[in-house]
Structure 1
């Protein structure tokens, strides 16, 4: 079919061109900074003592299987504070038994109160108050460090200015499309927050692998500004207090904290609704930048699909589409190698399309943050 520049064709090409330029801007100016930048040099570490904080609610099996790997880290001085948050399984028995073997394990036990319900932030605040040291390192009970130098690698990032260290926590690789999508979604989340941090605009971290100074926490009154929200103990805190000077990232494999993924779509959907329910409380700049990327990607793919269906200048549009895929897959391949998910690269463009549609859907249906429970 010959190429004709009808009003419809011009409109589609114009929209596609804008979406293409916006997406290339994110790829070349933001994501490439992370994908192709050499590993940063560690800060001047003095091996300061560290308090590891873990909030656990009915996590008996995970505590028994994974807590020893944290308690046996190769680091001069550290404690592990486990907040047993109203568990009704055998968590307290397992923890008390472990205290006889590990002198660096401390337990904070919370009892259920029917009149005063609380979320993770309350439990985490009590754990931080009970900790002895200024350097805090946070993770979850279902997480397993990939090496016995997890603490050491995270702490290497502290220098005179550092107050926050953003770590990486991917999910265990398993079979099936859901697992691949969960790991791709985690990859994209990490690519975004690491890239923004390197660009001097840090906006979030994940509580499965996050470190900050206790002084920063109390100096800013902890979670007081969003204590009424049951979610956001990690990303809202980082969004409010991270900046270009006080924040560093750590992506080495030794510092990676591996987590168990959800195995059903329903559980995953519920988890992500909770995670994304606080996005509207981010700083305006971050909300705008993240939204523009999603919108541009959905529009780009939408125009390509529409041109194929309508057969309107699809030769030119397919050419632009192929060019975009080349740029996208080159960037993603390098970033995926860094973030330990190279197996996702071959279908990365397909996951990218589904991922951005999923973000739009989550934005439309996500509940109020105050109505989401953490466990």
Structure 2
């Protein structure tokens, strides 16, 4: 909290760039996403950026996506549609779709999002464009989930918040370990120089976080948290769907670099031991109870000084009132998810 997350709370938020440095290719993979494409693509085409193309990969859709994209091509000269057929003799999945989109992209700087995502403003591409520093090859963005009235939605947004705080703060500290495909950017040349997803093509997930984990470092990676750079996404509406999503993420995490796995595992284990130690102290002397209560209170005070500011900064200010309850619920949910990921069914799909 004090040595990593506090840095993100205190960092100066970058301003929206006034000039466009280079042309951009926006890549979106879609499988039976016609409703989302109809709702969100207009916001992509209306971006305040002088030169960009939109590459939409239609991954074997049968819901009318193909016909809709054909109509859009007539209206938008900067739209490029890549069609994947069922008879293509390649490994199906999002990584293949992303690879086809990257191959079709005209420009070297690639900005990624999903079909169910919508930019917070028409300056999104301007914020995610290639940085002026030539050494930067990867830009990690942030994507909050839309608010709904349910406990599941609050838990999803709270978990997304802490995940984002962690990977953004560690990137600031010079140890980037992941990004989210809903909002990130990198060089096409970086992708092909490292043979794309070849090292983990056999894993259903990881087109975003595993790529960043393998190729990001303190010299070539920047973050973007300006409100204009954020992309809103539609959350899962069922517990089963959310568990499947987290299972995919957990599976990809097992292939992180050893130092990243150690740090992330240490965080969860330490939090587990912290609560276990507090509960155990309740069975000891009155003095032990006071000491344990004082340590817990100190932890809550530190959290209260750091995380409300971050909740405001990352567009989740409404969750600050539910912070203590959601913190405990998330802890137990992560334990449950880890158990199900280890002992549940192994096969997962992206769509």
Give your verdict on TM over 0.5: yes
CA RMSD between the two structures: 2.0
Q: Does 1:345 align with 2:339?
A: no
Q: Does 1:49 align with 2:50?
A: no
| Aligned equivalent of 2:222, options 219, 244, 248 | 248
Per the alignment, residue 374 of structure 1 pairs with 350
CA displacement, residues 215-257 of structure 1 (integer Å, 9 cap, x when unaligned): 1000001001001111100000000000001000001111110
| Aligned equivalent of 1:153, options 116, 123, 127 | 127
Separation in 2 of the partners of 1:369 and 1:48? 45
- The secondary structure found in structure 1 opposite 2:254 is helix
| Aligned equivalent of 1:204, options 175, 178, 181 | 178
| Aligned equivalent of 1:233, options 191, 207, 215 | 207
Could you list the runs of 5+ residues in structure 2 that have no partner in the other structure? none
After TM superposition, give the deviation of residue 117 of structure 1 in Å: 4.7
Per the alignment, residue 265 of structure 2 pairs with 291
Per the alignment, residue 23 of structure 1 pairs with none
Separation in 1 of the partners of 2:264 and 2:30? 31
CA displacement, residues 175-210 of structure 1 (integer Å, 9 cap, x when unaligned): 111101000010011001101100000000000001
The verdict on how the C-alpha distance between 1:271 and 1:118 changes in structure 2, with shifts beyond 3 A counting, is: same
Per the alignment, residue 14 of structure 1 pairs with none
Q: Does 1:355 align with 2:327?
A: no
Could you list the runs of 5+ residues in structure 1 that have no partner in the other structure? 1-26
Per the alignment, residue 215 of structure 1 pairs with 189
Separation in 2 of the partners of 1:29 and 1:53? 35
Taking structure 2 as the reference length, the TM-score comes to 0.95
Separation in 2 of the partners of 1:290 and 1:191? 13
Residue 45 of structure 1 contacts residue 155 of structure 1 at CA under 8 Å; is this kept in 2? no
After TM superposition, give the deviation of residue 372 of structure 1 in Å: 1.6
Residue 168 of structure 1 contacts residue 209 of structure 1 at CA under 8 Å; is this kept in 2? yes
1:1-375 mapped onto 2 (5 Å cutoff): 27-40=1-14, 46-113=20-87, 117-155=91-129, 157-308=131-282, 313-366=288-341, 371-375=347-351
- The secondary structure found in structure 2 opposite 1:174 is coil
After TM superposition, give the deviation of residue 356 of structure 1 in Å: 2.7
Taking structure 1 as the reference length, the TM-score comes to 0.89
Question: Which structure has the greater CA radius of gyration?
Answer: 1
Residue 45 of structure 1 contacts residue 158 of structure 1 at CA under 8 Å; is this kept in 2? no
- The secondary structure found in structure 1 opposite 2:207 is coil
Residue 231 of structure 1 contacts residue 369 of structure 1 at CA under 8 Å; is this kept in 2? no
Aligned residue pairs, count: 349
After TM superposition, give the deviation of residue 299 of structure 1 in Å: 1.4
